[in-house]
Amino acid sequence: MNHEQVKIPQATAKRLPLYYRFLKNLHASGKQRVSSAELSEAVKVDSATIRRDFSYFGALGKKGYGYNVNYLLSFFRKTLDQDEITEVALVGVGNLGTAFLNYNFMKNNNTKIVMAFDVDEAKVGLKVGGVPVYHLDELEQHLNKDIPVAILTVPAHVAQPITDRLVKQGVKGILNFTPARLNVPEHIRVHHIDLAVELQSLVYFLKHYPAE
């Protein structure tokens, strides 16, 4: 099957990293095959959705056999560009930004924060989690086309002007942890994660829709 020709629906693509992480663990423990029921239980996605998702990957589960773990892994690796490291920049080395720099995602997949920016002179020039922190004034000097993704962990009121500069430098995707709603050209992708809203919504659901 030609991996380049596969066009996966967005909702399916979003579940890919989840499947990938679980299958990597399965593979490490020596398992060769997995059923959609097992997968469903582990990743908390219903098995009909899993079967539909996997049909896009050209992986057709066989009754009584399940899915071939190696096949799926090699597909995911190609599709998620696991063979290539995607470089990421982070702006705002506060509490949250510092946590990301120390964590740096390498355990899960091949994305790597390679540089960070801040305006606080006390932070500029430091290395946090091994990542150099530059002054925001030097953004244009350091950020080049090889860095397609940026994480925003700055105060909300500065998020938009920083975003405009990131886009000018060729950033294609922004993971926005600020509460600000960002305006970007159509070809730029913003994923918004407002931790306070997520937490509030969880508390709301617990109160109003308690699990059986």
Which parts are annotated binding residues for NAD(+)?
A: 92-97
Return the residue of 20, 57, 117, 134 that touches ligand ATP, per CB under 6 A.
117
Task: Note whether 23 binds ligand ATP by CB under 6 A.
Answer: no
By CB under 6 A, is residue 122 in contact with ligand ATP? Answer: no
Shortest distance, position 192 Cβ to ligand ATP, whole Å: 16
Interface with ligand ATP in residues 165-204 (CB under 6 A): none
Binding site, by residue number, is 92-97
95 lies in the binding site for ligand ATP (CB under 6 A): yes
Rounded Cα gap, residues 138 and 204, in angstroms: 42
Interface with ligand ATP, residue 158, by CB under 6 A: yes
The token pair at 158 is: 């500065």
**Nearest of 206, 89, 57 to residue 154 by alpha carbon:** 89
Q: Measure the N-to-C terminal CA separation of the chain; round to a whole number of Å.
A: 43
Backbone conformation region of residue 198, classed left if phi is above 0, alpha if psi is from -120 to 50, else beta: alpha
Q: Name residue, tokens 């582990």.
A: 42
Tell me how far apart the alpha carbons of residues 194 and 176 are, in angstroms, rounded to a whole number.
8
Which amino acid type is present at position 68? N
The distance of closest approach from Cβ of residue 90 to ligand ATP in the complex, given in angstroms and rounded to an integer, is 10
As measured in angstroms, the least distance from the Cβ of 74 to ligand ATP is 40
The answer to the question of residue 137 lying near ligand ATP (CB under 6 A) is: no
Residues at the site binding ligand ATP, with contacts judged by CB under 6 A: 91-97, 117-120, 123, 136, 153-155, 158, 162
